[in-house]
């Protein structure tokens, strides 16, 4: 369906697919977070995952600390691999939701309309983060926050190699979030489908619901059992919801 691109990982190519689902990882995350989704998606949906620089196969590339530069790069990759007969849908979790939201805007300005945007585990763009700035956080404080969100147990970071590998990625992404400022523009010309964990201590369901204010078309909210990483805990249920919209075009 699409040609290879360094920014996009495609776990299973589906040349006849009518929809491509472009997924954007969370802070500290990588393409591997979504890879298993490919085997559960309908055959008419091709999964593409944004791989941010500085991780996995792009580990030797420098990080991007400017959110606008990151959005420009992601939008460029999506646009370069777009086909007129294939619908593009974006899905972002946590930080990825903000990047996805801005990417939809950028793509629209360049002539590619994304009709549906899935946002997960993230407050609306105009809400400020509820933590200290990354510049004020020690390494242990950052790792503790990751554990609090249910991402990884602190004991994993006792391994010096893992700690050395993960910390620069987390700190870069936290700095990127800190420097993000939404543009004062009209709602996106898209339906917004928001997903939330009912026990997410980092962002409440009420804060996720406020994405309704940026939806230019329909807005839907789905709540799942679990914390910030309910996507991993409730993968089958999440994909069922995805199919509900991908099949109907709602």
Residues that are catalytic: 94, 228
Find out whether 195 and 241 touch, Cβ atoms under 8 Å.
yes
What does the alpha-carbon distance between residue 65 and residue 156 come to, in Å, rounded to a whole number?
26
Distance (Å) of CA 191 to CA 30, 103, 199, 204, 240: 26, 14, 25, 21, 18
Cβ contacts of residue 35 below 8 Å, gap of 6+? Answer: 9, 11, 49
What does the alpha-carbon distance between residue 82 and residue 74 come to, in Å, rounded to a whole number?
12
Cβ contacts of residue 243 below 8 Å, gap of 6+? Answer: 41, 42
């Amino acid at each position: 369906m699409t040609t290879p691109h360094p920014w996009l990982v495609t776990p299973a190519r589906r040349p006849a697919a009518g929809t491509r689902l472009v997924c954007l990882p969370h802070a500290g995350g990588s393409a591997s977070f979504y890879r298993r989704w490919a085997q559960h998606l309908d055959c008419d949906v091709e999964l593409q995952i944004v791989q941010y620089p500085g991780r996995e196969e792009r580990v030797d590339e420098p990080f991007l600390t400017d959110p606008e530069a990151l959005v420009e790069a992601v939008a460029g990759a999506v646009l370069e691999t777009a086909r007129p007969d294939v619908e593009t849908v974006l899905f972002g979790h946590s930080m990825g939701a903000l990047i996805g939201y801005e990417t939809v805007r950028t793509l629209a300005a360049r002539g590619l309309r994304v009709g549906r945007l899935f946002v997960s585990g993230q407050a609306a763009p105009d809400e400020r983060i509820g933590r200290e700035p990354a510049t004020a956080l020690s390494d242990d404080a950052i790792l503790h926050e990751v554990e609090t969100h249910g991402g990884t147990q602190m004991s994993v970071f006792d391994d010096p190699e893992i700690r050395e590998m993960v910390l620069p990625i987390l700190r870069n992404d936290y700095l990127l979030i800190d420097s993000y400022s939404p543009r004062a523009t009209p709602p996106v010309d898209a339906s917004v489908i928001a997903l939330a964990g009912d026990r997410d201590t980092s962002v409440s369901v009420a804060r996720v619901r406020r994405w309704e204010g940026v939806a230019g078309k329909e807005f839907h909210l789905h709540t799942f059992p679990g914390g910030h990483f309910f996507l991993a805990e409730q993968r089958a249920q999440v994909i069922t919801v995805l199919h509900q919209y991908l099949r109907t075009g709602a």
